[in-house]
Structure 1
Amino acid sequence: MGTNKECIEHLKSRLGVVHAGLQRMEEAINRLSSIVIVNQENPTQENPNHDNYHQEGDNGGRQIISSKTARLEFPRFSGDDPTVWFNHVEQFFEYQGTAEHQKVPMASYHLEGEANQWWQWLRKTLPKEGQVILWERFQEELWARFGPSGCEDFDEALSRIKQLGTLRDYQREFEKLGNKVSGWTQKALVGTFMGGLKAEISDGIRMFKPKSLKEAINLARMRDE
């Protein structure tokens, strides 16, 4: 066993090592604290791997806008009335910013059953005739094959529409026919809609003289409640 002096010297040496370790820990803690403070002061610091982009606001601040768009499901078509399908497809193309040359491949991929059989025949026939199938031609061909017959006059059907059931059913049928016509002014649409309503509804809202179809529908709903 060493003398008391040797023991004291040994303890001093050990304490020196411990003190040096504590200093290193303190320095590391200070560095981490500095990093946290910087991140708190700059929460919108750009990160190339982040999925958001930044847009300058009117007041010079930075507005974070997500670059990820909502995922929309492309509508499928199997051969029924293409009116609604075309409406949904056009909305999809507009929202997603679909390029013109991608429209036919994307739409034809989502054809099913009878519609898909028709497409397989069309894509073999037209190219042999030297015709390129662009989106406008695709619409014309599909509409000619699956659309309503030419003898149906949607303008006349809309002008003669009458409310026989609920207001909701009447509005649904009115909008369905309205999507198939063109050239109608707001005044004509309002007059036709009002004229087709049941008397107990139209008589109660005619005094307000609605200027738009939206206004006429809202008034009819309030009267029907």
Structure 2
Amino acid sequence: MGDASDLKTTVEALTKVMTSLQATVEANAKAIASLTSASTSSSGAKPGSGEHHQDRSPKHWRPDFPWYDGKTDPLVFINRCESFFLQQRIMPEEKVWMASYNLEDGAQMWYMQVQSDEGTPSTLQWTRFKELLNLRYGPPLRSAPLFELASCRRTGMVEEYQDRFQALLPRAGHLDEAQWVQLFMGGLLPPLSLAVQVQNPQSLAAAMSLARQFELMEQYTAAPSKAPVRGMLMMPGPHPALHQQPAPKAGAPTATVEGWPVKRLNQAEQDE
């Protein structure tokens, strides 16, 4: 009887342990589900939508830091650096160090001179670094970048003019969309500028597209050169009259006496 009682007690104890374990598993599952939903809502993205928060870069992705050798306009290099700094949340005191580390060739030699004049990356501010880089490798602009943009004129194809206008635009300072359009249309020169202006474009992209379209229309509507119709013979023109030699003047009548020519005198000569 004692053995049966002990077995019953053991079974009851095991049942209680199994019930406790099951309750623990259910509680853990609820906690995991709660944490997952909280993480999803705090990230600002819908589940499965593939969207990311605007202030955060995608996970497991790190863009390559740009390199610069001093052979092109530094404005592109500076823009890519600032995008990298924003995405990776780089501290201000680290910006010059990272940018200078990625200089090469002539640009690296230039920065060595900058270090001796301005100090180390820890003391050189990013704003000052950009200013020095633009002064050394930027385009040869005068002291009025806006005047350079307003003086830009189309001298050939529209595409070539667009490239020059677009290169000057970032350095001209803050301008609104309407000012961009007016400056671009003014540089097209008549009659192309008038054709674009009639369409009243509301954006710079629209004005550029219209300019290319009108240029293409001008190429197709140009007057073709006149050529003779194939299969028809050209009628020959009148031949010029031959130059006739003047007839020799008739001389005085002569006679022959014994083989010698003898001139006959007229009445006037006889009277003399």
**Normalising by the residue count of structure 2, what TM-score does the alignment of the two structures yield?**
0.53
Q: Return the index of the structure with the highest Cα Rg.
A: 2
Aligned-partner Cα distance in 2 for 1:28–1:141: 69
| Corresponding residue number in structure 1 for 2:136 | 145
1:33 paired to 2:33: no
Instruction: Kindly provide the CA deviation profile for residues 161-216 of structure 1, in whole angstroms up to 9, marking residues without a partner as x.
Output: 4385575x654443222123236554442123235569998777544412442553
State the secondary structure of the residue aligned to 1:179.
Answer: helix
Q: Which residue of 2 aligns with 1:162?
A: 154
Query: What count of residue pairs does the alignment treat as equivalent?
Result: 200
Quick one: which amino acid aligns to residue 122 of structure 1? V
Amino acid at match of 2:105: G
Structure 1 counterpart of 2:221: none
Once the two structures are TM-superposed, the CA of residue 28 in structure 1 deviates from its matched residue by 0.9
Alignment partner, residue 61 of structure 1? none
Structure 2 counterpart of 1:192, one-letter code:
L
Q: How do residues 170-181 of structure 1 correspond to structure 2 at under 5 angstroms? A: 171-181=162-172
Which residue identity lines up with residue 77 of structure 2 in the other structure?
W
Residue identity in the other structure for 1:27? S
Equivalence for 1:136: 127
What secondary structure does 2:27 align onto? helix
**Cα offsets for 1:126-185 (capped at 9, x unmatched):** 45xxxx633333233322322233569864466434385575x65444322212323655
Q: Distance in 2 between matches of 1:206 and 1:136?
A: 39
Cα gap change, 1:21/1:66 in structure 2, threshold over 3 Å: closer, same or farther? farther
* 13 and 185 in structure 1: CA distance in 2 versus 1, 3 angstrom threshold: closer
Give the percent of matched residue pairs that are identical in Structure 1 and Structure 2: 26
Aligned partner of 1:32: which letter? Answer: V
Among 187, 191, 199, the residue aligned to 2:182: 191
Q: Mark the runs of 5 or more structure 2 residues left unpaired by the alignment.
A: 45-51, 217-272
Q: CA 1:120/1:29 → structure 2, altered by over 3 Å: closer, same or farther?
A: same
Distance 1:66 1:89 in 2: 18
Q: Structure 2: how far apart are the matches of 1:67 and 1:22?
A: 53
Structure number having the greater helix percentage: 1
1:69 aligns with 2:60: no
C-alpha distance in 1, partners of 2:31/2:87? Answer: 39
Hey, what's the Cα distance between the residues in 2 that align with 1:66 and 1:91?
13
Q: Which one-letter code corresponds to 1:69 in the other structure? A: S
Aligned residue number for residue 3 of structure 1? none
Moved more, 203-212 or 80-89: 203-212
Q: What aligned pairs does 1:1-225 form with structure 2 within 5 A after superposition?
A: 14=7, 17-40=10-33, 43-44=36-37, 54=42, 69-70=57-58, 71-80=62-71, 81-96=73-88, 98-127=90-119, 133-150=124-141, 155-156=147-148, 159-162=151-154, 164=156, 171-182=162-173, 186-195=177-186, 206-217=197-208
Unpaired stretches in structure 1, ≥5 consecutive residues: 1-5, 47-51, 57-63
Q: Alpha carbons of 1:119 and 1:13: their partners in 2 closer, same or farther (altered >3 Å)?
A: same
> 2:32 & 2:18 partners in 1: Cα distance?
21
Post-superposition CA distance 1:48-79 (Å, at most 9, x none): xxxx99489xxxxxxx9698534443322111
Deviation at residue 115 of structure 1 after TM alignment: 0.9
Q: Structure 1's 54 and 157: CA in aligned 2 closer, same or farther, altered over 3 A?
A: closer
* Residue identity matched to 1:35: N
Partners of 2:172 and 2:43 lie apart in 1 by 41
Cα RMSD (Å): 4.5
Q: How far apart, CA to CA, are the structure 2 residues paired with 1:67 and 1:26?
A: 47
Shift, 1:39, TM fit:
4.1
Aligned equivalents of 2:168, 2:54: Cα separation in 1: 38
